Amino acid sequence: PEAFTAKDEFGATIVHLAAMVLAGVTISGAGGAVWLRHLEGRLGPTDGAPSVLRKSVLDYVCWAPVVNAANLCLVSLLTARSYS
């Protein structure tokens, strides 16, 4: 139907919005929860500035690139867009 392909003023469609929501909930939501539990399990509880800094750096270096790449790929796959 036209409702699924009609674009708003920013060029987004309902399908694109749904793909972004699904990717965000699964990757950032569930994946982020698993990642944070892993950090807490490996590095122990947060007990001050040094542990916050260590976890923040690991999050930025290890998890953020995975999330960004996965979101871009998953949204593109779900909306049937090509990478060219």
pLDDT for residue 76 is more than 90: no
- In the prediction, which pLDDT does 10 show? 58
Q: 44: which 2 tokens? A: 């122990």
- In the prediction, which pLDDT does 17 show? 85
Kindly report, residue by residue over 13-64, the tens digit of the pLDDT.
Answer: 788 888 899 999 999 999 999 999 999 999 998 899 999 999 999 999 999 9
**Is residue 8 within 8 Å of 16, Cβ to Cβ?**
no
Give how far Cα 49 sits from Cα of 33, 40, 58, 63, 72, Å.
21, 15, 14, 20, 33
- In the prediction, which pLDDT does 37 show? 94
pLDDT for residue 9 is more than 70: no
Give how far Cα 47 sits from Cα of 38, 41, 80, 81, Å.
16, 14, 45, 45
